[in-house]
Structure formats: C-alpha cells, structure tokens
Structure 1
C-alpha cells in the first residue's frame, strides 16, 4: 500500500474520521499557506512551500476512500524529500500561513461523507462538478442535526433507533439530486412498518426575506418566472414572491438573507426579524426554509429589474402597501407559500416589530 503524509486540513481529526483514515503522527519539513476553504470548494487547498520548519503530518496508506476523495477534490500526491504528501498543492506561498482556526472542519468532513456516499460507479469528475451543491447540502444536514425538536409536548422525541435504513440509492444528481431510501420506521401502535421505498428531492436549506419599510408601511415584492407552475400548466408562471435563495456552504442564514436581497433587489437590509422556519413539503422535499422580515428603506422608484446574469435571473420589483399585501394573501392572490406566510405574520407582528426598532 502506498504511504503518504497527510498535511493541513487532510490531517485534521474531523476529516480523517469522515474518510476512515488511520495513521501515525509525524513531522515533515515545509510550510503551508492559505487553505481556509479546503475541502469546501474546488481548489481551496493550502500551498506547500519548501522551507525550513516543522509541519505536523499524519503518515498513512492510500485507502480506497482516501483515493476516491482525492480524485474528486483534484488532489495529487506531491513529491517531498521525506515521501509523498497529500493535502496541499504546489505554489509560491503568497497567502497567509495555514490557520486551522479559520477553517470549517465540520463542514469539510460532512462534504467528505457525501462524496463517499455517492454511487461507486459515478465518475469523480461528475461528483466534483456538484461540489457547490454538495456544500449546501452538507451544511443543511449539519443545521438539521441542530434543529430544535418540533411538535412541542404533542409529539414524543424519537432517536435513530426508530428509523431502520436498509439501503440508499442516488438515481439522479444534477444541480439538485434525488435519493431513494429503503427503510422502515416505528409505528404509533408499536413495532415497525414493513420495508418501504421512499424518494426525496435533495435541495438544501434556503432563506426567504420580505423587505419592509415601517415608516412608509410598504414592502418590496419580486416577480419572476417559475418552472413548477409551467410544468403544472398554470396560466400564470410569473409569481409574486419574497426575496429568496439557497444558503451557501459556510454561510449563516442571516448573511444569506442579506446577500440575496442585494442580488435579487439591489437592496441593503437593516435589522432582520426571524419569522418562522419550516419544511414546505416534507413528504418528499428536503428543503427547509428560514423566513425573515428585513427592515429596508423603500422610496418610490426603487423597484427595478435585477438578478444574476450567470443564473439567468430576470427579477422585477414591486412596491406594495403592507395592508394591500395582507388583502392579496387572504384573497388567494399570493400563491407563493412563504410569501403568504410572511404577509400574515407581518400583519400580526408589525406593531411589535416597530416597538423593537
């Protein structure tokens, strides 16, 4: 078995555990620079610079899991006087020295688990193209584990023993993915269901933010084309919505809300008030939404047409009085669920929010 020295992020216990890598601690010569996004984005690995210094490393063998991960990440062993080194790329070391405190080991480890969960016959290059979405999904799974239990006292808290998974498949993986699970779960009467097949559409967490100007008591809505209504043969596939988008890997939900407001409405959001969080369609959709009302200055003429060209976004803004938004929601003229929820939530909470400003 080929022996290599793992350095930097790849030598971190979290990533080694995810890749099932054992080894012995060692020290080699050299320095690492950069690498704050190692294992999170393609090409984010630190540069190895030949220089005096003691560089902590882990000596191990190239296991199938480690080889698979390295192929997806575009990592190749580097020649070193003490042997082959994995976990860095060649470079001049112009960036800041490698600093593990600026890195996100839990996220990198979760991405590694997703890479190893992908079908064995899927080419490494195909998985690599999905790294941005794998990062979103990995962060969503981390947030999912930390989600406070819902249901209050009505629903007893379960644990992993209440769901038995016998097989998992991933028949489709593009920007989004579809997973097929074979499982059984504990029933309300006791015992377990027969083995059943369930499919889930994997999307990752998202944020929704409704910009509200409390002085003018108006909101900014956006209008854009949506594929779902077209496929359903809805005569109106241009929907009124709140600003929304995916939470990027390593990004907080609040930062995502502010970023999306800039991208979709060219709008800077002030104070954020979290409304509610929910699964819009938990029977088959993994998406979890974080809803916010964001304080904004909304003068006449701010609407505009915005969106990211590289995502083919064509988004038009609309200024609407808050009372009119409530009327539209109650009249069934808002078919976007998160916007309807935010409209009714803001109608109830507007006075409290004003008092908190």
Structure 2
C-alpha cells in the first residue's frame, strides 16, 4: 500500500503507535487540495481546493497488517480511502491513496499547524492509540465508536496530571527512582477499565518495597459544579439514578449531587464545567474554583475539578434537565444552603464532592453575600 499522509500521521510517534514501524517516507505534495482545521476538533481535514497544494509525505511499503490497523484507526472518524496522484520532490508523479473525511465534515476557523498539535495534543493522541492497539483482540469499529472517546479522555487526563504542579511542603517530594511501575497487564473492560500492575517504591525508613501486585480503576478527569445564588443563598442539586450506589446494594440509589460530567479529550476543565452546567441545569454560571482532588486515590485514577457556579437561580423548586442523547434522566432541586446542610447531616446528601462544596459554601457564605450584594453581573 502507498499512502499520502498530510496531518497527525506525519508525527512519527503517533504513526508508530497506530501502524507500527515500517515503510519508507518521502516528501510529497498533492495539488488541488488544502489541509485545514476540522470544526470542533484538534485534527485537520483535507479539502479539494483548486488553488491550493497540500504538503505531506508519501508513505510507501505499508504491509497488510499496517493497512488493517490504519483502516481501524481512520474508521473511527468515518474516513474513507480515495485514489490520488501526488508530486514528489523531483517533480515526478506517483499514484497513491489518501484517507479523507466525510463529506459533511465542518471546516474550523484559522489554519492547522502540525507543530502546534505536536506541542499540545500529540502525547494524549499517542497514549490513546497505544491503549487501542494493546487490546487483544482489537475491537470492532462499532464498539470503537463509544470506546475510543473514553480512551482519549483517559489519555488526556494522564497528560494533564503529568503537567500539574505537585507541591511537597509536608508530604514526600519524590526523586528519580522513588517509585516504579512494573509488569503492566493489559487493562480489562470496555467503557471503564481495570489496570493490573506491579509497584516498587521507596519506604519512609529509606528501604525499598516491592514489586507488589496492585490494581486500579483507570478513570477520567471530571468537573463538579454546585450552582449557587449568593443573593438568595439557594443552590441547585441534581437527582439521578447512580449505578455505583445501585450495585453497592444501597436501598436508595437515587442520588443528590452537584452538576457533574467528564472532561472531553483536549478540553480545558473550565470549558467542561461551563458546558456541563448548561447541559444538565440549563444555567450560565461564573466559576469559582474550590479544589482539584482525587476522590479515591487508593483504588482509582479519577480526578475531580470542583467549582461553585455563581448564578441567578430561577424562582422554582425543581425542573428537569440533561441531554436525551446521553440518556440522562435528571431532576433538579432548588434548596437553601441551610436545607442543603440538613441533607448532609441526615445522610441524604452522601456524595463526597457535594458535601465538600456545601461545606465550602457554609464557610464562605457571608463573604459571598457581601461580594454580590448588588446582584450577579450577567
């Protein structure tokens, strides 16, 4: 197989993660096409444009296994192969194939830069591809339609974690070799995944321990937003059936909690927080960051970005919310902060991030009342 590549596959680390090593690459251009940003995405599309020339590489010598892996990866995005004729550096023409997006793919603003993508998004893209192609057997395209976005979210979370400040004024500040992960097993699960591994680490007495067999739930980055009106001192709680409580055998698995949702791959936490609050509660809010925290670091990688969402809450007791496309069945309750504290005390509010945010509001209610005594600016 001979392929003209023009976008993220020009990055060797991603190319190797998707197809493995092999084949030969030479500079090539494709007259009559332009590489442009894809709307709502960090990857590019190629579009017919008689006045443009797409820059890329001709990838020759792709074997059958590589071609199959490429077809699976490109198929996630509904890309298809077309025949093209490219021009090599010496001016000769060469027949090739090229993956192109669906005809209804939207065009984004500005231009697309490989260097920008490599700086900001390549690491997560490579991690997601590595997770995909470590699966045995490989999933079908229909399964990947809902599995791969989760792989991307997990990868994005890992990259964000590696770039987060990690103060060590009280706790141990690790040095090279203080902890080592060994014997990673293939993760199991389809939507959520469980990872087995070994760990060896430095002890507080200066000795070494391990390798010890361990397992963790490989989760995602999420946003938690508690909408709050500092003028009326009311807040919004979301009620929904939660599977964790159900399978734990809780007699009442309908849970009261703040707005909550996963951070999409390549999305900033603040963007996700505003999006989720609009989707679940129909509210526009001003975010006040409370904490970034692990809810259960002993057994899960989940990390929560927790906010209070300052807003003018409607004069109603409850309403429905959520997205039908995501099968969300939500009931939203408006309660006073005092009532919320009663729910915490009784155990009816039993979601840890919600409890934390309610207590934060109790601690800061007076200051917020003064700060917004003139109302909340829209």
By the TM > 0.5 criterion, same fold? yes
Matched with 2:236 is 220
Mapped partners of 1:87, 1:256: distance in 2: 31
State TM-score, norm by structure 1.
Answer: 0.85
Instruction: Give the Å deviation of 1:119.
Output: 2.1
Residue of structure 2 in register with 1:273 after alignment: 288
**Contact in 1 for aligned 2:14/2:129 (Cα 8 Å):** no
What whole-Å deviation, never above 9, does each CA across 1:220-253 have from its counterpart, x for those lacking one? 1111111222222222211111111111122221
Q: Quick one: distance in 2 between partners of 1:193 and 1:25? A: 51
Report if aligned partners of 2:44, 2:112 keep a CA contact under 8 Å in 1.
Answer: no
The correspondence for 2:83, drawn from 79, 86, 89, is 79
Q: Give the Cα separation in 1 of the matches to 2:68 and 2:177.
A: 32
Distance verdict in 2 for CA 1:240–1:123, change over 3 Å: closer
The aligned counterpart of 1:113 is 127
Instruction: Measure how far apart 1:11 and its partner are.
Output: 1.8
CA contact (8 A) 1:274 1:293 kept: yes
8 Å contact from structure 1 (residues 73, 128) kept in 2: no
Q: Does 1:206 align with 2:222?
A: yes
2:337 is the alignment partner of 1:322 = yes
Q: What is the CA-CA distance between 1:70 and the residue it aligns to?
A: 4.3
Structure 1 residues 337 and 92, CA gap change in structure 2 (3 angstroms): closer
Matched, 1:313 2:328: yes
CA distance in 2, matches of 1:323, 1:109: 46
**Does 2:233 match 1:231?**
no
**Does structure 1 conserve the Cα–Cα contact (< 8 Å) formed by 2:245 and 2:253?**
yes
Output the CA distance in 1 between the equivalents of 2:106 and 2:338.
56
Residue 188 (structure 2) aligns with: 172
Structure 1 residues without counterparts, runs of 5 or longer:
none
**Is the partner of 1:172 in helix, strand or coil?**
coil
User: Of residues 118, 137, 145 in structure 1, which corresponds to 2:154?
Assistant: 137
Structure 1 residue aligned with 2:100: 88
Distance in structure 2 (CA, Å) of the matches to 1:284 and 1:104: 33
Task: Spell out the pairing of 1:336-351 with structure 2 (5 A cutoff).
Answer: 336-351=351-366
**Partners of 2:81 and 2:177 in 1: CA distance:** 41
State the partner residue of 2:163: 146
How many residues end up aligned between the 2 structures?
351
Does the CA contact (< 8 Å) of 1:182 and 1:198 recur in 2? Answer: yes
Question: d(CA) in 1 for partners of 2:66 and 2:332?
Answer: 48
Mapped contact 1:211–1:295 kept (Cα < 8 A)? yes
Note the aligned Cα RMSD (angstroms). Answer: 3.2
The alignment partner of 2:284 has SS state of: coil
Structure 2: how far apart are the matches of 1:93 and 1:326? Answer: 48
Residues 82-140 of structure 1, C-alpha deviations (whole Å, 9 max, x = no match): 23244534759984698224975443542333222332432353445412212211221
Within the candidate set 229, 243, 249, 2:259 is matched to: 243
CA distance in 1, matches of 2:311, 2:323: 21
Secondary structure, aligned partner of 2:220: coil
Distance 1:129 1:96, change over 3 A: closer
Shift of 1:342: 0.3
- TM-score, L = length of structure 2: 0.80
SS in 2 for 1:194: strand
Distance across 2 between alignment mates of 1:326 and 1:178: 35
Match of 1:99 in 2: 111
